[in-house]
A and B are shown apart, each in its own frame.
Chain A
């Protein structure tokens, strides 16, 4: 009965002609959350790699935070998919019956590789010395947890620490293509659906990747601005300015790629162009034109230009950076929404549009999606408690 009611409600909002199976869209808010989360992982890792591989010294205070953020979000990344598909207890079968011709199935291995051989390993080598020191300083359960996490390692000689540093660098170098693969894959999945003109584009993996880097850098910037004062420290303005600079450049690249894609579609003017322009100007107007482009991209770009051109005071800069970070998160989330939901709103007959009504409760509903977006922050706070990203001297602003 409820299904019938739902159907009647949806059918009133259908515009033009759609096929009967298109009224109800299959990929819901959970599939919007999934690329958003993996994007944050890839972006945060790229920021971290700037420190280790490209030697951007100013960014050092964000390095460990970026790694922990990437880990916290990566641990949750498969959950939206598993909740959406159902039967999560069967997911291990993907690993024991590898299907080389399925991009989705192979992604399990990319995920495993990235989690085990890049993130966990790098974090372990980065924190090993500190874990040994902290475990000797602490008592009770924490001592043993840290001892276990350091795999009962004890060597903190200079030679051993030098080896750690070298390994971290090597892992980061391997990690950059891995991070690209991790998020490029998500774009690849959408880009290779040839029946859907909104998705099918070779630009898709690249556009996903750069929007991922943008969202990851913005997220680490926000977290840095929140966590440091919370832990009683002082924000390092040199570092913050540098992060914002990188954010500015990546936003420009991301924006250019999206504009290029847009112009390319217009110039190509395939038979789908009419329905797509109708989609953009009606159903997606709010989320694409207003939220994604105006508020999520042009406004932060404008703000960052203002910050760069006028020499603003520290406090004003902080405020504007914070606003930019929030706007960019909103914009990138809208980007994911517009790709995933937008691609299912128009009929394959190119003659009509359907609508998406989000559930509130239920496994594919708003509350579950919200929970999935909150859990990484809970994990991150536990990680930060256990493995503090900053030493006391660093927080006080002493080099």
Chain B
């Protein structure tokens, strides 16, 4: 071994020494200076868990409310708000659980709280009840008509726009603006009370659109095509979206 080192040229020994020195410094830093949490994955996880667990708990969770409040959860269970947790509206309630008499959770009674979810916004899914707060019973608190635990509308919605506001607004600017929804969608009366179980129809035959848009149609001022040759195997709305301007 000694001979091997003697055979190495002087400069190689120097470079190798520098590299060994660097590696040794790294090892010393690694072994003695770095805190163990930085090196051991398990310790790192434990430290994170400890840090998170030490934080104050603010929310009590969805189950515990029913232990004292019997009436409301029963009503909520069958209503449209069944998937909302109590604390979504009443705020963090852990303190109330610990001290039920002195700490009371909030209960929003003003209009603006409900409109967080129910004010019209085009990005909300269709079918989600949305209103224009300026036109829908202005200044009247929502809870005078709707029980928040089962917010069924007091009267059956008159127009489709009550839930399908986005489509209604898009359609109002399209060529189909003057055609009522029910012309194309056969809507059972029951859809208004149980919207998710009874669903309206959609035109499923090409001939339906052809009534106005086939070249043989008697309608005036409507764009027509030869239905026999145009896009044979597709239903029209697979390419032409009927609610938007131009419908393409």
On A, residues with C-beta under 8 Å from B are 93, 96-97, 121, 124-125, 128, 151-155, 159-160, 163-164, 167
Contacts and interface: CB of A to CB of B under 8 A. Distances in A.
B11 interface: yes
B122 to A, nearest CB: 12
Contacts of B39: 96-97
Residue among A125, A128, A153, A155 having the largest count of chain B Cβ atoms under 10 Å: A153
B53 interface: no
A49 to B, nearest CB: 20
B11 A97 contact: no
B87 to A, nearest CB: 28
A121 B9 contact: no
Interface stretch (B12-20, B168-176, B178-186, B219-227): B12-20
Contacts of A151: 11, 14-15, 18
A154 B38 contact: no
Contacts of B11: 125, 128, 151, 153, 155, 160, 163-164
B184 to A, nearest CB: 26
Nearest to B44: A97
A155 B10 CA distance: 7
B30 interface: yes
A166 to B, nearest CB: 10
B40 to A, nearest CB: 10
B34 interface: yes
B14 A93 contact: no
A160 B7 CA distance: 11
Contact of A96 (B9, B10, B15, B38): B38
A240 B231 CA distance: 65
Nearest to A167: B12
A154 B14 CA distance: 11
Interface string B1-34: 0000000011110110010000000000010001
Given A93-B38, A97-B38, A125-B11, 5 more contacts: A96-B38, A151-B15, A151-B18, A155-B10, A163-B12
B10 A159 contact: no
A167 B39 CA distance: 36
Interface in B52-89: none
9 contacts: A93-B38, A96-B30, A96-B34, A125-B11, A151-B18, A154-B10, A155-B10, A160-B10, A160-B11
A153 B9 CA distance: 10
Nearest to B123: A20
A128 B18 CA distance: 15
A259 to B, nearest CB: 36
Q: Which 3 A-B pairs have the closest CB atoms?
A: A151-B14, A155-B10, A163-B9
B197 to A, nearest CB: 33
A93 B34 CA distance: 10
Given A97-B39, A159-B9, A124 B30 contact: no
Nearest to A151: B14
Contacts of A96: 30, 34, 38-39
Nearest to A163: B9
Contacts of B30: 96
B133 to A, nearest CB: 23
Of B9, B11, B12, B15, chain A has the most CB atoms within 10 Å of the CB of: B11
B241 to A, nearest CB: 14
A368 to B, nearest CB: 30
Nearest to A132: B11
B10 A152 contact: no
Contacts of B9: 155, 159-160, 163
A120 B12 CA distance: 14
Contacts of A125: 11
Contacts of B12: 163, 167
A153 B38 contact: no
Contacts of A155: 9-11
Contacts of B34: 96
A196 B10 CA distance: 53
A167 B12 CA distance: 9
A149 B96 CA distance: 71
Contacts of A153: 10-11, 14
A53 B11 CA distance: 22
A37 to B, nearest CB: 25
